Chain A
Amino acid sequence: MATDHEAVDAAFYDRLRQFYSDEEIVELGTFIGFNIGYHTFFGTLKFYPMFSPDGRLVSQEESERIYGAAPVSLKGRAA
């Protein structure tokens, strides 16, 4: 859906229906769409989780060091 939406065609939906109901496909599709849209926006804002993996409240600078300044992009994954 994010990297090659033309591959999500009628045949792909037929394949999805082998495993999921139409209700579940709508749930998945809107959830995936929402995440595509918002993670890109959030990425431009450069903010990171408030807590470290062990539950400490950390500064944004420390959080960036912990979680990484450059997460792997969908574009990078597709390539």
Chain B
Amino acid sequence: MPHIEPLEPAQIQDPELLALMARAEELGVPDGLFTRIVARVPVYAKVLLNALIVSHGQGNVDHRLKEIIRILLARFAGDRYFSALRSKKALAAGLDEETIDAGCGDYDDDPRFPESWKVALRYADQMYLDAQKVDRAFYDELKLHWTEPQIMELGGFIAFHYSMQVFMRTLDATPLAAAAATRSH
């Protein structure tokens, strides 16, 4: 049981929040547990859930890359909850566990990833490992592969998902589905 007890599903009646939960379930990230915890503050729950869904599931950066980045960050954060969840959309697009593990590992030497993906993975990797390295030269390198709107999309995505991961890791939460828990690192 997480350190903050989730609300019972029947306690969530807000139609807007229920609609967002349905969208999240369709994507696969987050599952209902996150919402049932943050729904203790309903106005926060709606904003946070919507931002998680939109930043992850929409935009102009390949969703499979975002899914690898999300899991890389969750593993770095030590968050068992988000690191075990998987985007159904990314899996349907062909992303598999081997590629996820490769993207979270020595991606720089892996020929399956284009340079644009490697520099984006490094962006996420360095942001919370050593932010001093994400300097002007690093942004210049990013701009060789990505437009400025895409860089803002990546940066905002990285910051927001890491934000929720550092909160969830303190709750000692695990996904609702037992199958997902087995993927937790």
Contact = CB atoms under 8 A, between A and B. Distances in A.
Q: Interface of chain B, helix or strand or loop or mixed?
A: helix
B149 to A, nearest CB: 14
Nearest to A25: B4
Interface in A10-36: 10, 12-13, 22-23, 25-27, 29-30, 32-36
A34 B179 CA distance: 29
Given A13-B3, A22-B5, A43-B131, A1 B167 contact: yes
Q: Interface of chain A, helix or strand or loop or mixed?
A: helix
Contacts of A22: 4-5, 40
A40 to B, nearest CB: 5
A36 B164 CA distance: 10
A55 interface: no
B159 A41 contact: yes
Contacts of A41: 127, 155-156, 158-159
Contacts of B136: 46
Contacts, number: 86
B166 A36 contact: yes
Interface size class of B (residues with CB under 8 A): 35 or more
Nearest to A39: B159
- Of B41, B138, B164, chain A has the most CB atoms within 10 Å of the CB of B41
Interface string B159-185: 111111111011110000000000000
A46 B155 CA distance: 13
A8 interface: yes
A68 B167 CA distance: 29
A2 interface: yes
Interface of B: 3-5, 37-38, 40-41, 44, 48, 77-78, 127-128, 131, 134-136, 138-139, 155-156, 158-167, 169-172
Given A9-B172, A40-B127, 4 more contacts: A1-B166, A8-B170, A37-B158, A41-B159
